[in-house]
Structure 1
Amino acid sequence: MLGIVTVFCAPLPAEAKASKAAANAKPVTDGTSDPAIPYAVTLTPTKQADLDAAIAASSQLKSLQTSHTVGAYALAGRIRSDYDRVNSALESQGYYAGSVKISVKAGARTVDGKDPSLPDILKALGKNQKVAITISATIGPRFSLGNVALTTPPQEPPAASVPAPTPTTPTATAPAMKDPTAKAPVAKTSAKIPAGKAPSDGKAVPTPPPAAAVAATSEQAIAQAQPVSLLPEERKAFGLTSGQPAVAADVLAAQNSLLNQLQEEGYATASVSTPLAYLKPQTHTLDIVFRVNRGPKVVIGPISMTGLAHTKQRYLMNRLELKEGELYRPSRIESARQDLASTGVFASVQVRNAPPIITLPPSRTLMPGILQAMPIEFGFKEAKRRTLSAEIGYSTDLGGRVGVSWTHHNLLGNAEQLRLTALITGLGGSAQQGLGYDVYADFMKPDFLSKGQNLSVRLEGIRQLLYSYHQTAIIGRAGLNRHVGKYWNVSGGVMGEQEQIQQFGDTRSYFIIAAPLNATFDNTQLSNPIDPATHGVRASLSVTPSESLESGSSFFTLLSAQVSTYFDLKHLGISRPGRSVIAVRGIVGSVQGASTYQIPPDQRLYAGGPATVRGFRYQGVGPQYGKTKYGIGGTSMDAGSVEFRQRLPMNLGFAGFVDAGQVGTGSRPGQGTLRVGYGGGVRYFTPIGPIRVDVALPMNRPAYGDKWELYFGLGETF
């Protein structure tokens, strides 16, 4: 008749990766006195790429051949276990009529892997004599899905009146469909999360119903309960149809997709059972039966928070995107969890359902007619409030810079940040004439006046002794920063600067007030800004009206724009994703309303260095003072860069680049002498970002220009 498959599991790609990692591990033995026997495994291709990958991932002989050598009896046991494991890989791809053959060549003899004398044959081998093992699979016809049924869970009658079902005269029994990469056969359906618990990722999950008795045939299973009809959106999410290949991964994906869809419709306690699968060898089909229980449609109930020690709950509740009374949707709950985690003050944020379901008064629900509500609980683990960090960098033009920063991440209990930084600059360098400093205090208050709007304040003292000018200044800034949409960020503020500048023997004091306005766009979707981008666009535009009130009053406006884009060569089919990338950058700047000498030297435009044109020292591109290395600066600037980045094994990489740019004394970009630099460098990729070392040379070096430049830092240049 029919056989029963009670477990449906698919191969896990992560297991395949683990097998690959194990193959590169240092060999170990089984710890017994039985001498380890080296062996080599050959997998005979089936000409089905997915199936070959599943077989390779499932075979312990293959994954452990170099990392865990064993003695004769353990190796014979490993060979025997691979029959079931490889057969499970066949079944996971729908090949239920296939067979597995393992042949073992030990010395001059070739025997079958199931030969009872195999352990003795292996034990009789000479020292260091290698064994050759060949695994072959005959796939047979591929089974397809037959009847795909969805029913309610069957009613549980009294246990004494229900004998265990037994098939009558079965003609075939399908083995349990298991994960072919597992270490032992799976004997249960799927792991369940107990009521009131949350998985490690913090997402809320419903409590599954108790398992029902398994029928002997698909017809009996369908007759046990009532059929379930799916709405169009539910049917689309489910996706399974009769006639498609009986691939385990597709069936399990349909189970998860349908459950997710039901929960998104507000059925918080919905359940979709692990599918019951019934093999029909005569028709090469597999009948599938799912038990579906929608449960009540609910809204979000009372929201509670636990684990808060220094963070104010009122701040989190005001920020929370989730509202009591709205339709229960896991995607909304997870989005709210991620948003709270993004405040930067928590080591972890979890969320779970907090049953039992309660009934809300009509005035508290936002969904007319739905009064049942699922309470939600957020659990927090606060991160360290204070951190200390160090900064180091070096380039041959600006020299070395070292410093330290102290940050308080939750100053007043509302995720406010206070950062104190002290840097020593000008440690050598061809563009420097002595040591300088940069000390500043940053204060940031999130959600200022409205959610997603941050207040930032900085007080800074700076001294730098550049060849172009010597500057000592006190600067104060305050502004608002706001996210707009998914990729845009806009900011505006005010700035005041009191400074003394010496240039070419002339010392002047300036008091500058400005109102910088900025807009940035970034769709590279990187959570860590130091990580190298492999796709997308970054762009910025700034407009800064300024007034200089000392040493001759002048009004001027600084305009600048920058765009960079990244192209992954995987799109041309010549590289793996993220391994080979072409990065392009363009910069343009202009000063409107004043000439060069009407503008304080530090407000003029300069080029040279990693931010514009590598191969030229900082401020080394543009008009120079006579035939010296002193830069005057200008009122227009444009620059461009093209860079090729290649990842290598062992966390290494390299880059090659060409930069070009110019600075002019007119307000229109495109003026001045075009300077071109080129070079390359190496990268070492760490968990916090790539360490970068670049060497650049000028193609048309100006008088007194440097012959080469060396840059060292963390993260890519752009």
Structure 2
Amino acid sequence: MRHSRLARGLHARAWRSAGHVSLLAAMTVFGVWGPAAVAADPQAYTTTLRPTGNADLDDALRASSDLLSLQKTQAVSPFALTGRIHNDYSRLISALESFGFYAGGITITVTDGGGKSGAPVAGSHDGRDPDLPEWMQSIPEGHRAQVTISARPGVPFRIGVVTLNPDRGDPPVRLNADEVKAFAMKPGMPAQAESVLSAGVTLQTALTEEGYALATVSKPQAWLRPDTHTLDIAYTVHRGPVVNLGAFDFAGLQRTHPAYIARRLTIAPGELYQPSRIERARQDIAATGLFSDVQVNHGDTLAPDGSMPLDFAFREGKRHSVGAEGGYSTDLGGRAGVTWTHNNLFGNAERLRLTALITGLGGSAEQGLGYDFYADLLKPDFGSRNQNMSARLEGIKQELYSYRQTALLARIGIVRRVNRRWNVSFGGQIEQEQIQQMRTNNSYFIASLPLSANYDGTGVDNPITPATHGVRLGASITPSASLTDGTSFFAIMQATVSTYFDLKALGLSRPGRSVLAWRGTIGNVEGASTFAIPPDQRLYAGGSATVRGFRYQGVGPQFANTRYAIGGTSMDAGSFEYRQRIMQKFGAVGFIDAGQVTADRTPFQGTVRVGAGAGARYYTPIGPVRLDVAVPLNRPARGDKWELYVGLGETF
């Protein structure tokens, strides 16, 4: 029987005899074959690892060998190379034992591989030969030593007796069903270091998850049984008392109110101590974006009342930031501007964002420059957790071919996250605007109450990150009233669905490399006829949001002998895309879109317009940069021949 302990994996070393003195080395040193040549210093060498037939074991041996990892980067003298060879024995034996091969062995031989300066010195030497350094000094300069590593795994060992010993003064260790499942160490299992060590770690994790905050499971002791090729192991287990959370201490808060952090936390004093819930609470606070770092720690002793206090340490992030925004399409032209953001405005994670944009830079659907100025205020956790309040004040000027608009609007809304996939929003909006259409000026005051629901089953948290599977749904209804020059009531209803299919499911590609994507949109306006609805509230199609290849508002009814869109009360559109990743940073897309707009309230009426095209993608850490070119397949007489779209993120 041999005793072993675990350090750098599970080791149970059996040192072998060093071998015999090499007569060949002595003959070389003393000149039996003539005068010694000039030796190389440093000594170049090449290492070969003979396969064992076990690919995972070969990888472990290769990763453990300094001879292999250092041969190209750290050249050494013959004496230092001998030391490197000697050290490799213990490293390689450890790799064998980590896979449960405790009866294996390692052989390292060294020969002169020769070189341009002449024939090699004859002989093959055991790496443990005491005369190896002198022999290697006889290798002429310009020759390269050939080091060969051979591993003999031998019979694999299995787990024998498994013992759980109580710590001093503790009662006998008895595991419940959940603890037994977590421990998962049974006689007969392969005696691999990783599984033996991880069993103790997972048992300790299971104990702490049950509230044993001070629980410890020691690194196991191990005893080799060569006769039976088994390994007996013993762990020392200390449970300690079941513990509840104690008081929370917040350090590093400069502008953030501690009361907000306390409300935001998903844990509270008096609850059962569970490391997983503590970590989720830490991640949730970090996700607010207020902090560049959030840490939580606790000591090794309990408070006088038997609870476990937690110490939170915060490092607050930058309070102000400036960003740029831009995009281009041939129909809407270019848009460019800047955004200034004030984070944590009142100390409760409020965010104020001011944006100024110039729009309509050279667009085919534009008659001139416009602007879009707005201020957004976000108040998170408004009223309750997972519920945000947002408010916007916005000034808009648009010089579209269909109409010219100058407007001031204000809106406020609540967005509530129902669960991981669903969220709903509701609110109110008022808008004062002037619109010129076909040389007629009209003023409108519009009040509306938008309500929407959204579902995202793609598993993608960032909307800019391309989805590869799942479904997205969005539906909204906006009851509105136009209160100028007579009151008209109408309700705008819209729904969009998109779905994504990874061709990996058919075995045709690697995950996320080849994706099919579909999008369908339908809209309807009820309660008023087309011309009783303000022009900006009517439905339009054309552009990247509906039918590419047609300019924005280029699909649907138009005034006679013009390219001015009237808009409609019913709209539907669909898109299909094939997305292909190319290498790491690039991608290509092929697509076809179709849609129609009509003054009838029944969808799927009117003239269907179809566009098709292709695009390129460049994938950045924040999302893909998109460039699409589309052409209309059934262009009207006054329509454009092609359209170009540039933006960040996929179209849908």
Task: Report the TM range for the smaller structure's normalisation.
Answer: 0.7 to 0.9
Which of 292, 297, 301 is the matching residue for 2:242?
297
1:186-225 map, 5 Å: none
Moved more, 564-573 or 492-501: 564-573
Which of 260, 263, 271 is the matching residue for 2:205?
260
Q: Which residue of 2 aligns with 1:649?
A: 583
When residues 76 and 546 of structure 1 are mapped into structure 2, their CA distance, relative to the original with a 3 A threshold, is: farther
Deviation, structure 1 residue 113: 7.4
1:535-554 map, 5 Å: 535-554=469-488
Q: Which residue of 2 aligns with 1:215?
A: none
Q: Which residue of 2 aligns with 1:437?
A: 371
Deviation, structure 1 residue 377: 1.5
1:129-208 map, 5 Å: 136-154=150-168
TM-score scaled by structure 1? 0.79
Which of 709, 714, 718 is the matching residue for 2:643?
709
- Tell me, yes or no, if the aligned pair for 1:497 and 1:513 is still in contact at 8 Å: yes
When residues 426 and 302 of structure 1 are mapped into structure 2, their CA distance, relative to the original with a 3 A threshold, is: same
When residues 430 and 53 of structure 1 are mapped into structure 2, their CA distance, relative to the original with a 3 A threshold, is: farther
1:93 lines up with 2:38 in the alignment: no
Moved more, 333-342 or 112-121: 112-121
When residues 660 and 148 of structure 1 are mapped into structure 2, their CA distance, relative to the original with a 3 A threshold, is: farther
Deviation, structure 1 residue 102: 5.3
Cα distance per residue 1:427-479 (max 9 Å; x no partner): 11222221111000001111222222211110000111112221111111001
Whichever residue aligns with residue 349 of structure 2, its letter is A
Q: Which residue of 2 aligns with 1:610?
A: 544
Residue 150 of structure 1: SS of its match in structure 2? strand
Deviation, structure 1 residue 327: 1.1
The size of the alignment, in residue pairs, is 614
When residues 265 and 598 of structure 1 are mapped into structure 2, their CA distance, relative to the original with a 3 A threshold, is: same
Identity of aligned residues (%): 57
Q: Which residue of 1 aligns with 2:261?
A: 316
Q: Which residue of 2 aligns with 1:520?
A: 454
Which of 596, 604, 607 is the matching residue for 1:662?
596
- Tell me, yes or no, if the aligned pair for 2:9 and 2:94 is still in contact at 8 Å: no
When residues 577 and 34 of structure 1 are mapped into structure 2, their CA distance, relative to the original with a 3 A threshold, is: farther
Cα distance per residue 1:595-647 (max 9 Å; x no partner): 32222221122222222222222222222333543222222222222323333
When residues 701 and 245 of structure 1 are mapped into structure 2, their CA distance, relative to the original with a 3 A threshold, is: farther
Task: Report the Cα distance in structure 2 between the residues aligned to 1:617 and 1:584, rounded to whole angstroms.
Answer: 21
Deviation, structure 1 residue 668: 2.8
Q: Which residue of 2 aligns with 1:337?
A: 282
Q: Which residue of 1 aligns with 2:7?
A: 7
1:50 lines up with 2:56 in the alignment: yes
Which of 215, 222, 230 is the matching residue for 1:277?
222
Q: Which residue of 2 aligns with 1:682?
A: 616
Task: Report the Cα distance in structure 1 between the residues aligned to 2:507 and 2:61, rounded to whole angstroms.
Answer: 26
Instruction: Pick 1 or 2: higher relative contact order, CA cutoff 8 A, min separation 6.
Output: 1
Whichever residue aligns with residue 3 of structure 2, its letter is G
Q: Show structure 2 runs of 5+ residues with no match.
A: 11-39
Task: Report the Cα distance in structure 2 between the residues aligned to 1:630 and 1:123, rounded to whole angstroms.
Answer: 93
Deviation, structure 1 residue 123: 9.0
Whichever residue aligns with residue 75 of structure 2, its letter is V
Q: Show structure 1 runs of 5+ residues with no match.
A: 11-32, 156-224, 361-371
Q: Which residue of 2 aligns with 1:529?
A: 463
- Tell me, yes or no, if the aligned pair for 2:125 and 2:132 is still in contact at 8 Å: no
1:70 lines up with 2:75 in the alignment: yes
Q: What RMSD over aligned residues (CA atoms) do the two structures have, in Å? A: 2.9
Task: Report the Cα distance in structure 1 between the residues aligned to 2:109 and 2:627, rounded to whole angstroms.
Answer: 53
Whichever residue aligns with residue 147 of structure 1, its letter is V
Q: Which residue of 1 aligns with 2:348?
A: 414
Moved more, 585-594 or 388-397: 585-594
1:378 lines up with 2:323 in the alignment: no
1:316-715 map, 5 Å: 316-354=261-299, 356-360=301-305, 372-715=306-649
When residues 516 and 246 of structure 1 are mapped into structure 2, their CA distance, relative to the original with a 3 A threshold, is: same
Residue 323 of structure 1: SS of its match in structure 2? coil
Task: Report the Cα distance in structure 1 between the residues aligned to 2:614 and 2:135, rounded to whole angstroms.
Answer: 60
When residues 506 and 317 of structure 1 are mapped into structure 2, their CA distance, relative to the original with a 3 A threshold, is: same
Deviation, structure 1 residue 557: 1.2
Residue 199 of structure 2: SS of its match in structure 1? helix
Residue 252 of structure 1: SS of its match in structure 2? helix
Task: Report the Cα distance in structure 1 between the residues aligned to 2:303 and 2:436, rounded to whole angstroms.
Answer: 73
Cα distance per residue 1:52-98 (max 9 Å; x no partner): 443444445555666x3635646666565554444433332223333
Whichever residue aligns with residue 345 of structure 1, its letter is L
Residue 358 of structure 1: SS of its match in structure 2? coil
When residues 672 and 273 of structure 1 are mapped into structure 2, their CA distance, relative to the original with a 3 A threshold, is: farther
Deviation, structure 1 residue 504: 2.4
Deviation, structure 1 residue 709: 2.1
When residues 346 and 542 of structure 1 are mapped into structure 2, their CA distance, relative to the original with a 3 A threshold, is: same
